[in-house]
Amino acid sequence: MKTSFILFFSAFFFISNANAQQVYTWDEYGISFTLADDFKETVNNIDEFSAVGDGMELAIIPFKDETIDDTDINAYTMSIAASLKLQRVDDISVIDINGFKGGYAEGALDGARIFIMGLIDPTSETNFFVIITFLDNDENASAEAVNICTSIKKI
């Protein structure tokens, strides 16, 4: 019985730590998102939210344009990818998550993979670009980037 309890407690502790997340709220824009507990904020102001984690960097950049729609944001997202001179850029994928519309693409540059997502809020003039950079061969980071992006929501 004692051995079973120790095994259960050890497994619970390991799983809890493996899934540890930090919830961030960006009050100026009324959004929240989660990052793994190894992320540390580097910039948090009206113009940008940035954080660095184990082998990953994240930036969320807001911009105002009430005339933009989901077709425009897709073109903007691809133009950002082109301006960064990304290689191996995927076709844009259209998304509709947590009240946002937009698109995302992945590319590579100098051994790093760069995930770019453009999000529009159909009910406001505020929109966002999300840029996540990680090592090109890091599959865990790829899954973590998806988790970050799908966690972005309006509050």
pLDDT in tens, 2-24: 444 344 434 444 444 445 789 99
For residues 4 and 127, the model is more confident at: 127
Rounded Cα distance between 46 and 26, Å, is: 9
Is 117 domain-assigned? yes
Determine the pLDDT at residue 45: 93
Segment 84-97 shows an average pLDDT of: 80
Instruction: With respect to residue 3, please indicate whether it lies within any of the assigned structural domains.
Output: no
| Mean pLDDT computed over 132-146 | 83
Assess if residue 13 is contained within a domain. Answer: no
Dist CA 129 CA 63 (whole Å): 8
**Percent of the chain clearing pLDDT 70 (strictly above):** 88
Mean pLDDT calculated for residue range 24-53? 93
Q: Is 46 contained in some domain? A: yes
Prediction pTM value: 0.80
How many CB atoms sit inside 10 A of residue 71's CB?
A: 11
Residue 116 structural domain: 20-154
Please give the tally of structural domains in the chain: 1
Between β-strands 31-36 and 40-44, what pairing exists: parallel, antiparallel or unpaired? unpaired
Residue 65 domain-assigned? yes
Q: 132 lies in a domain?
A: yes
Task: State the chain's mean pLDDT as an integer.
Answer: 82
Q: CATH code at 105?
A: 3.40.1000.10
Q: Is 2 helix (H, G, I), strand (E, B) or coil?
A: helix
